[in-house]
Chains A and B, each alone.
Chain A
Amino acid sequence: MSKYRSAMDKIRVTPEMEERILKNIAKERSREPIKKTAFRRWARPVGGAMLGICAAAVVLFVYLPSMKEGDPSPINPKTSVAVNHSKKQAAAKESAGEQVSSIVSVEAESSSKKDVKQSKGIKARVASKEIAAKTKGIQMGAAIAMAKHILPPTNSQKDGNQEEAFGKSKVNAKQFGSESVHDQPLLAVNNIEATKKDTIAQPYGKRMMESSTENNQNTKLMPSEDGAKMAKVRTGEPSEQESSTPASVTSLGDGSGMSVMTVNPIKEMKDLAELKKEVDFKVMLPKQLPDGYAIRSIALYSGKMVQIRYSDGTNEILYRTESGSGDISGDYTEYEKTNLVKAGADSILMKGDQKLIKLATWTHDGYSYSLSFSAGIELEEALSLISSITVLDN
């Protein structure tokens, strides 16, 4: 092919051709000034920004309002509770006389006003329903107690008073099974399950139900002796897991305002001693950390998985262990390099780039382990860290 090359070498840009081309380019440029180039340069980012603004506007003005309508906001149920209260007060008027019922109606009005105020507050708390629900739980008991104190129950007003109290405590009367609460001191699990069915169609409710299904298996919602406080009572023996994890009151968000106790699966530990107390299995921990690394946080997930975050101020090492087998790292990055390294009888799956290890996962004695290195680590260093893992002894 040397002949082809020599033939092609004879094709050159001659000085005349060069002059012609430059002249033509200058002419072309005079026809299309810089404006066009400038426009093209800005057209894309400006167009992109406009599209973004349009999308944001659509979300703000179309999607969110529709979500609000579809969302089981506690506003409507509460308002309906207030209406129900009025109706019941009217019934009470007939049965118990005008004087008593007028007091009740004043209370009903005040409670409905409060409902509206509270519903506004709840609106603001839509983003953090769980936190709000905790507050609800606390307020619920207090408000019910207060209601009880203000309006001593009479035979004819008993139902109405309690419902008002529930209204004050931002909890829909429906959550207590309405009048059945008073007919039956204990609200059986079946009632809860029936309420659950209603909630399945609700997106938020469904999510909450999933997290609380297990907890409701052995629980009953019941009013306390004075009928004011509602508490979650276990029918069976509490498990160690739940006794060790903080519980919170969370709205189901199904429009009924149903509040249930949910168990936070993550429990932060102050130190290793607390961790050891909490777990009923042997915890294995690395003893020799790279220089500068110290424990930053300790967490127990669902009472099963231990997660310890080590940090040197900038980089982190995330250590996880749990009984069973499988990858518990939660790191699904596709790394450049994957190696199976033998360390004694164990095979450690090392992932990372050409030089450094970013993730190590392995199983040993029926436990899964993972170590994630945010900055990466040398293989030898990773192996020495893994070999230093021993039982937590203090």
Chain B
Amino acid sequence: MRTVLDVSLRTDETVVHALEVYGNTILRLSYSYLHNISDAEDILQETLLKLIRNQPAFESEEHQKAWLMRVAINLCKNKLKSSWFKTVAIPEHYEAEALSEEESDVLTAVNELPLKYREVVHLFYYEGYSTIEIASILDKKEATIRSLLHRARKQLEKSLKGACDFDE
């Protein structure tokens, strides 16, 4: 009984820690895929459940972050494949905080990108991962990531009519 309680407490700690440290990252990543805060929240919850069920051993915090992101990405892709998601219209914008016009334009432009470009743009420009790291997270070649980024930039330049700074 004591062991069960210990395990339970440890699991709670793991979840709370993951939610505090990586909650925002997973939520934003999921949002970049699904364009919907409720679905993103579901993905965050599912990701944390996966963490409890699998209880993987992490070598470092960075390893844990990468694992959680990979799980969240998979869950998002599964959700996008589901027939419900394909047929039901999804609200596009997160209305919790008012976005400036420029922010809204950029967010809309990124959200309109094809999925393969969108995930790379988010990981590169928001999470600050290098192309090698993105390649390992998405299980693709680095050259592929580079070319995807290049094409995503081209499309964003076109849609934003040059009003976008690709400073990195």
Contact = CB atoms under 8 A, between A and B. Distances in A.
Interface of A: 1-8, 10-14, 17-18, 20-22, 24-25, 28-29, 32, 34, 36-37, 40
Given A3-B103, A14-B96, A21 B32 contact: no
Contact of A37 (B45, B55, B121): B55
A2 B160 CA distance: 14
A4 B19 CA distance: 23
Given A10-B96, A13-B44, A14-B96, A1 B125 contact: yes
Given A8-B122, A12-B24, A25-B45, 10 more contacts: A1-B168, A3-B106, A8-B32, A11-B24, A11-B27, A11-B28, A11-B96, A18-B23, A21-B19, A22-B16
A21 B44 contact: yes
Contacts of A6: 100, 103
B132 interface: no
Majority DSSP secondary structure for residues of B touching A: helix
A1 to B, nearest CB: 4
Contacts of A7: 99, 103-104, 106-107
> Most A CB atoms within 10 A — which of B99, B105, B106, B121?
B106
A34 B4 CA distance: 8
Contact of B107 (A4, A18, A21, A36): A4
Nearest to A18: B19
B23 A10 contact: no
Contacts of A13: 19, 23-24, 27, 44
25 contacts: A1-B106, A3-B100, A3-B102, A3-B107, A4-B110, A7-B99, A7-B107, A10-B94, A10-B99, A11-B27, A11-B28, A11-B31, A11-B40, A11-B96, A12-B96, A13-B23, A13-B27, A18-B19, A20-B41, A21-B19, A25-B49, A34-B4, A34-B7, A34-B8, A37-B55
B167 A2 contact: yes
Contacts of A24: 45
A36 B55 CA distance: 12
Nearest to A28: B49
A93 to B, nearest CB: 82
Contacts of B53: 32, 36-37, 40
B41 A21 contact: yes
Nearest to B104: A7
Interface of B: 4, 7-8, 11, 15-16, 19, 23-24, 27-28, 31-32, 37, 40-41, 44-45, 48-49, 52-53, 55, 94, 96-97, 99-100, 102-107, 110, 121-122, 125-126, 164-168
A74 B23 CA distance: 73
A22 B16 CA distance: 8
B127 to A, nearest CB: 10
Contacts of A1: 106, 121, 125-126, 164-168
A8 B28 contact: yes
Nearest to B22: A13
Contacts of A2: 165, 167
A297 to B, nearest CB: 42
A8 to B, nearest CB: 5
A25 B41 CA distance: 12
Contacts of A18: 19, 23
B1 to A, nearest CB: 12
B105 to A, nearest CB: 8
A29 B52 contact: yes
Nearest to A13: B23
Nearest to B168: A1
A4 B106 contact: yes
Contacts of B19: 13, 18, 21-22
B125 A5 contact: yes
B24 A10 contact: no
A10 B106 CA distance: 14
Given A18-B19, A25-B52, A12 B106 contact: no
Nearest to B166: A1
A311 B68 CA distance: 49
Contacts of B8: 34
Contacts of A34: 4, 7-8
B37 A11 contact: yes
Contacts of B16: 22
Nearest to B27: A13
A240 B23 CA distance: 79
